[in-house]
Amino acid sequence: MSEASRTGGYVLVDGKSTAGQLKLYLSNVNAEVPPVVGTSAINDPLTKRAAVLDVAANPYSQGVTLTPRFMAGGQPRPQLLIGPGLTQMRGFDGAGSSQGALQAGSGIQLAFGSQGATIAIDSATGMVSVP
């Protein structure tokens, strides 16, 4: 959210291209990713590498599953496009396939065996809450 606000551009939270991972991109209105001109990976300010949340590769989170559930059109979608200055949040199911505005019940599900939690995203404000 802060990156979309800071840059004034589109930010794509991509949970579609690699199962169990979230990747962050500077994107466009069509939710396109590199190598499309004008798009790029968002770099982690600490490591200076592409920002990728990969719970499977981290030894401290092995066995944890991550499932994006960005609700749009009444269904969970694997991608979230955040518009310039946080003016819009839309669920996507691939480049150019907007499924509508982000709806209530959106978030990222984390599970470990029979235990789980959802990191919720408020569809109106973009506020993130952890249970």
Number of domains in the chain: 1
Structure confidence by residue, pLDDT tens digits, 37-81? 999 999 998 999 999 999 988 899 989 999 999 999 999 999 999
Closest CA to 121 of 87, 82, 92: 82
Average pLDDT on 90-113 reads 94
| Range name among 33-47, 82-96, 105-119 with the lowest pLDDT average | 82-96
pLDDT band of residue 3 (cuts 50, 70, 90) is confident
Is the confidence at residue 84, as pLDDT, over 90? Answer: no
Averaged pLDDT score across all residues of the chain: 92
Give 94's contacts (C-beta < 8 A, 6+ positions apart).
16, 31, 79
Is the confidence at residue 32, as pLDDT, over 70? Answer: yes
Is the confidence at residue 21, as pLDDT, over 70? Answer: yes
CB 80 within 8 A of CB 68: yes
Is the confidence at residue 85, as pLDDT, over 80? Answer: no
What is the model's pTM?
0.91
Closest CA to 11 of 22, 21, 28, 131: 28
pLDDT given for residue 86 in this prediction: 66
| Alpha-carbon radius of gyration of the chain | 14
The helix, strand and coil proportions of the chain, stated in percent and rounded to the nearest 5, come to 10, 45, 45
Domain holding 30, by residue range, is: 2-129
Find the angle CA(73)-CA(77)-CA(5) to the nearest 5 degrees: 95
3-state secondary structure 8-58: CCEEEEECCCCCCEEEEEEECCCCCCCCCCCCEECECCCCCCECEEECCCC
pLDDT given for residue 116 in this prediction: 95
